[in-house]
Amino acid sequence: MTTRRLTAAQAIVAFLKQQYVERDGRRQAFFGGCFGIFGHGNVAGIGQALQQNRDFPYYLCRNEQGMVHTAAAYAKMNNRLRTLVCTTSIGPGATNMITGAAMATVNRLPVLLLPGDIFARRNVAPVLQQLESPASQDVSVNDCFQPVSRYWDRINRPEQVVTALPEAMRVLTSQAETGAVTLALPQDVQAEAFDYPEELFEERTWLVQRPRGDAETLRRAIEWIRASRRPLIVAGGGVLYSEAHEALSRFAAQTGIPVAETQAGKGSLCWDHGQALGAMGVTGTPGANIFAREADLVVGFGTRFSDFTTASKTAFQNPGVRFINVNVAELDAYKHAALPVVADARATLEDLARELRGWRVEQDYARRAGEFRAEWDREVDRIHGLRQEPPIAQGEVIGVLNRVSGPRDVIVCAAGSMPGDLHKLWRTRDPKGYHMEYGFSTMGYEIAGGLGVKLADPSREVYVMVGDGSYLMMAQEIVTAVQEGLKLTIVIVDNHGFSSIGGLSQACGSGGFGTEYRYRRNGGLDGDVIRLDFAANAVSLGAYAVRVQTGQQLEEALQEARGSDKTTVVVVETDLNARVPGYESWWDVAIAEVSSMETVQAARSAYEEAKKKERYYL
CATH number of domain containing 258: 3.40.50.1220
Instruction: Please identify, among 375, 397, 416, the residue that sits at the C-terminal boundary of a domain.
Output: 375
| Structural domain that includes position 405 | 385-496+531-573
Same domain, 177 and 240: no
pLDDT of residue 427: 98
pLDDT of residue 577: 80
Does any domain span residue 113? yes
**Residue pair 113/101 in contact by the 8 Å Cβ criterion:** yes
pLDDT of residue 389: 83
Same domain, 130 and 96: yes
List pLDDT tens digits, range 472-515.
999 999 999 999 999 999 999 999 888 888 888 888 999 889 88
List pLDDT tens digits, range 547-601.
999 999 999 999 999 999 999 999 999 987 888 999 999 999 999 999 999 999 9
Same domain, 426 and 456: yes
SS3 annotation, 412-445: EECCCCHHHHHHHHCCCCCCCCEEECCCCCCCCH
**Residue pair 451/486 in contact by the 8 Å Cβ criterion:** yes
**Residue pair 212/343 in contact by the 8 Å Cβ criterion:** yes
Task: Report H helices in 145-244.
Answer: 161-172, 187-191, 215-227, 237-241
Report which residue type is found at 241.
Answer: Y
Q: What is the CATH number of the domain that holds 126?
A: 3.40.50.970
Is the pLDDT at 57 greater than 80, yes or no? yes
Same domain, 51 and 166: yes
Q: How far apart are CA 326 and CA 357, in angstroms?
A: 19
**Residue pair 24/209 in contact by the 8 Å Cβ criterion:** no
Q: How far apart are CA 538 and CA 530, in angstroms?
A: 18
Closest C-alpha among 8, 7, 6, 15 to residue 206? 15
Pairing of strands 462-467, 489-494: parallel
Same domain, 186 and 135: yes
Is the pLDDT at 387 greater than 80, yes or no? no
pLDDT of residue 496: 87
Instruction: Please identify, among 189, 207, 225, the residue that sits at the C-terminal boundary of a domain.
Output: 207
Does any domain span residue 152? yes
Same domain, 410 and 291: no
Same domain, 196 and 324: no
Q: Which residues are CB-contacts of 42 (< 8 A; sequence separation ≥ 6)?
A: 36, 87, 88, 89, 90, 114, 115, 116, 185, 187, 190
Does any domain span residue 565? yes
Does any domain span residue 606? no
List pLDDT tens digits, range 428-458.
999 999 999 999 999 999 999 999 999 999 9
Q: How far apart are CA 344 and CA 351, in angstroms?
A: 11
**Residue pair 510/502 in contact by the 8 Å Cβ criterion:** no
Pairing of strands 462-467, 568-573: unpaired
Q: What is the DSSP letter of 142?
A: G
Q: How far apart are CA 539 and CA 569, in angstroms?
A: 8
Same domain, 137 and 246: no
Is the pLDDT at 516 greater than 90, yes or no? no
Q: Using only C-alpha atoms, what is the Rg of the chain?
A: 25
Does any domain span residue 434? yes
List pLDDT tens digits, range 241-267.
999 999 999 999 999 999 999 999 999
- Our count of domains for the chain comes to 3
Alpha carbon 502 to chain centroid, angstroms? 23
Q: Is 564 exposed, middle or buried (0-12, 13-18, 19+ CB in 10 A)?
A: exposed
Does any domain span residue 486? yes
List pLDDT tens digits, range 131-187.
999 999 999 999 999 999 999 999 999 999 999 999 999 999 999 999 999 999 999
Give the Cα-Cα-Cα angle 96, 100, 103 (nearest 5 degrees): 150
Instruction: Please identify, among 144, 174, 207, the residue that sits at the C-terminal boundary of a domain.
Output: 207
Does any domain span residue 617? no
Does any domain span residue 584? no
Q: How far apart are CA 99 and CA 11, in angstroms?
A: 28
Distances in Å between the alpha carbon of 502 and those of 395, 443, 516, 524?
A: 17, 15, 7, 16
Same domain, 308 and 406: no
Same domain, 356 and 395: no
Same domain, 80 and 31: yes
Same domain, 259 and 176: no
Q: What counts of helices (H) and strands (E) characterise the chain?
A: 24, 23
